[in-house]
Each structure stands twice: as structure tokens, then as C-alpha cells.
Amino acid sequence: MEEEARKLLEEGIRKKLVSPGKGELSTFPNGTKVIFHYRTSLCNGTLLDDSRSMGGRNKPMELILGKKFKLAAWERVIITMRQGEIAEFTCETKHTALYPLVSQSLRNISAGKDPLEGQRHCCGIAQIHSHHSLGHNDLDELQANPQPLVFTIELLEVLPPGSFQLDVWAMTDKEKLELVPQVHEEGNMLFKQGQIKEATQKYYNGIACLKNLQMKEHPGDQAWLKLDHMITPLLLNYCQCLLLQDQYYEVIEHCSSLIFKYEDNVKAYYKRAKAHAAVWNEAEARADFAKVLELDPSLGPSISKELRAMEERIRTKEKEEKGRYKGLFNYNTPPATATTG
């Protein structure tokens, strides 16, 4: 333990044990998943981030070792810790220069945003010198004036390689391709069991894998088109789940993107028609149902049923509105007269 602390000190990192962990120190081979809470502060005690309160989520950080995480210091210090240990690490500026970018991504994630939102497509060092605002005053200040930081880390769990499902961002291209048919089948099974939210997540994960691979190809190339054809059935299943969860506008958006590329996709027109009908877009719904009938006349009975249901909903709505506003514009009612006491 003392030897490891001495090595860290030579590298510009001072470790202070707050609470010892349990068991033996892991060997931490590449591919190990570590789950930990962190607290980041300036040397004067000013708090920057705390995973227990960030975004009100109390969500710990998860990291796959050996994947070249932008903040290498975290990997370096964690491999000196036992599970359950809490330690404080004061890191010199050379280890913390990229923290503003890391923090911005983590804050975006906690707020449900794209982790790369607001970051330019260049390397971390280039971004540091670009004078580009990160959207947070404290991070802008830290980016303009790099300084040592204190990381208080509680190591919650250490999972050896192969004992957990990798997140999409941590997978190789081969692993992503192998995962897609698996999650597709799992999604179908969950859907049949009525577990719609769980099925939605499975389809989403499959789409994310393929979209990630597609970003590496040139739009319209054979490889790009092959991936797009794999995305289409997953996206249609995803839209079916969204329909059942009343997410109609998202269904319209996704189906419109499919129709833009594939003008003869009957399922996309059908799902978009149902979504339009649900949000009272009668003209758009009728146009889409008509297109479905044109592309596949065998669906005539189903379309007739959908149209009757839409028309009934419209009549019911009009009747309710007529009753709600009845009497508001009755000109036979005598005007109110003022009285004096």
C-alpha cells in the first residue's frame, strides 16, 4: 500500500485513505468494469461535481478499464483501491486539464442530453484551447485556468471481464453486430409478454448499435445501406412500442424518416397513419391510410376499421365540444344590469 502511494506521489497524485475497503486488491485487467461514486472539488474545497446529487439521480459512474477514457487519472487511481474503499486523490494540473470536458459530458448525461452536446469535433486538447464555452461558468473558469483537483472516490463494485453486458459505447464493432439479433429477439419476446417498456429498450439498444456502426460509413454506400436495412425493422418495432405508450409525435417523426428513404414501406405509412389519427390530424391520417391501401389492397378491411374508429372519435369529440360551449353565445339571454345598494 505504501509503495503504491509512493508511486502515485511521484506521478503527481497524492492519495489519502478515508475508509479502507474489503478483500484483496483486484488485478484490474483490461475490460474490467468499475462502478464508483465520485466527488470533485477545487483544492480550496469548492465543489464542482458529486455523482450522488448530479441531476438528482444519485447514479454512480461506470467505467470500463482499458478503453482510453478521456480522464486517465481516474483509471490510474482506481486500480490502487479495494472494493468498498473510499479515498481522496489530489491530482496535479497535468492530470486534470481535460476534466472540464469530462464534467460537461457527465452533466449532460445526468440531464438526459447527448453527452457530446456542445463539444466540437476535435481532440480534447484542441477543445481546451478553442475558447469555446462549455455552458457552465465553473467549467469555463476551470478550462481557462487549469488547476489541481481533488477527487474523492468510493469504489462500489469491481466486475471482471465477461461477467457483465457491455454498454454500446464500450463494444467493438464485431460485438455490436453480434448483439443486434440477440436484442431483437429479446425485444420480440418481451413484446409478446406485454412488457412494452422493456421491449422498447431492447429495440432502442439494437438501433443504437447499428447507428453507431453506420456513422463510420459514407451515406448511400453499400455498407451504409446494408446497416440501414437492418435498422428499419427494429425502428418499426420501436415505433409500435411507442404507439402503445401514446408517444405519437415521435412515431410520426421516425416513420416520416423511413418513408423519406423508402417510399413503399407499408408498415411505416400504417403506423404513421395511426399516430396522425391519434393526434387529430384527420387529413394526414386519411392520406396515409389511402397510401397503405394503394400499396397493399389486402389491408382494406383493417384500414376500414381504423377509419371507422377515427371517425367515431371525431364525432364524439365534436359532440363534447358542442355541449361544452352550448349557451356561451345565446343572444336571447337578457343582458346583466348593474344594481346599486
Mean pLDDT along residues 38-53: 96
96 and 215, same domain (yes or no): no
Q: Which amino acid would we find at residue 119?
A: Q
Q: Please give the residue range of the domain that contains residue 149.
A: 1-115+140-159
Q: Has this prediction a pTM greater than 0.75?
A: no
Mean pLDDT along residues 90-106: 94
Q: Which amino acid would we find at residue 69?
A: F
149 and 35, same domain (yes or no): yes
2 and 144, same domain (yes or no): yes
197 and 294, same domain (yes or no): yes
273 in a domain, yes or no? yes
8 and 146, same domain (yes or no): yes
143 C-beta neighbours (distance < 10 Å), count: 24
132 in a domain, yes or no? no
* Banded pLDDT at 181 (limits 50, 70, 90): very high
Report the distance separating Cα 74 and Cα 70, nearest Å.
9
Tell me the backbone φ, ψ of residue 303, rounded to 5 degrees.
-65, -40
Per-residue pLDDT at 107 exceeds 50: yes
Give the relative orientation of helices 137-144 and 99-110 as an angle to the nearest 10 degrees.
170
263 and 202, same domain (yes or no): yes
How far from chain centre, in Å, is Cα 29?
28
* Banded pLDDT at 125 (limits 50, 70, 90): very low
What CATH number did the domain enclosing 214 receive?
1.25.40.10
Q: Which of 181-185, 204-208, 214-218, 319-323 has the highest mean pLDDT?
A: 181-185
C-beta separation of 305 from 298 below 8 A: no
125 in a domain, yes or no? no
41 and 179, same domain (yes or no): no
pLDDT in tens, 4-13: 888 999 999 9
C-beta separation of 119 from 127 below 8 A: yes
Report the distance separating Cα 84 and Cα 292, nearest Å.
59
Q: Pick the residue with more confidence: 164 or 254?
A: 254
335 C-beta neighbours (distance < 10 Å), count: 5
322 in a domain, yes or no? no
Domain count for the chain? 2
244 in a domain, yes or no? yes
15 C-beta neighbours (distance < 10 Å), count: 19
What CATH number did the domain enclosing 79 receive?
3.10.50.40
Report the distance separating Cα 43 and Cα 92, nearest Å.
10
Q: What pLDDT shows up at residue 319?
A: 85
DSSP string, 207-229: HHHHHHHHTTS-TTSHHHHHHHH
334 in a domain, yes or no? no
256 and 111, same domain (yes or no): no
Could you tell me the three cell numbers for 62? 461506470
199 and 146, same domain (yes or no): no
What lies within 8 Å, CB to CB, of 36 at 6+ separation is 60, 61, 63, 78, 153, 154, 155, 156
155 and 86, same domain (yes or no): yes
Mean pLDDT along residues 56-82: 90
183 and 282, same domain (yes or no): yes
Q: Pick the residue with more confidence: 174 or 130?
A: 174
pLDDT in tens, 242-252: 999 999 999 99
* Banded pLDDT at 337 (limits 50, 70, 90): low
146 in a domain, yes or no? yes
Strands 47-50, 86-91: pairing kind: unpaired
Strands 149-159, 86-91: pairing kind: antiparallel
Per-residue pLDDT at 50 exceeds 80: yes
Mean pLDDT along residues 168-188: 87
Q: What pLDDT shows up at residue 70?
A: 85
pLDDT in tens, 221-243: 999 999 999 999 999 999 999 99
C-beta separation of 36 from 60 below 8 A: yes
How far from chain centre, in Å, is Cα 187?
18
148 and 203, same domain (yes or no): no
pLDDT in tens, 269-322: 999 999 999 999 999 999 999 999 999 999 999 999 999 999 999 999 888 877
Q: What pLDDT shows up at residue 1?
A: 66
Per-residue pLDDT at 336 exceeds 80: no
What are the strands, taking DSSP E only, across the chain? 13-19, 33-42, 47-50, 61-64, 86-91, 149-159
C-beta separation of 217 from 223 below 8 A: yes
Neighbouring-strand partners of residue 158: 34
C-beta separation of 60 from 156 below 8 A: yes
Interior/surface letters 261-291, b for 16+ CB within 10 angstroms, e for the rest:
eeeebebbbbbbbbbbbbeebeebbbebbeb
Mean pLDDT, all residues of the chain: 88
Give the relative orientation of helices 222-244 and 266-278 as an angle to the nearest 10 degrees.
30
23 in a domain, yes or no? yes
Q: Residue 175 half-sphere exposure, CB side, CA atoms within 13 Å? A: 10
Q: Which amino acid would we find at residue 116?
A: L
- Cell 465520485 locates to 38
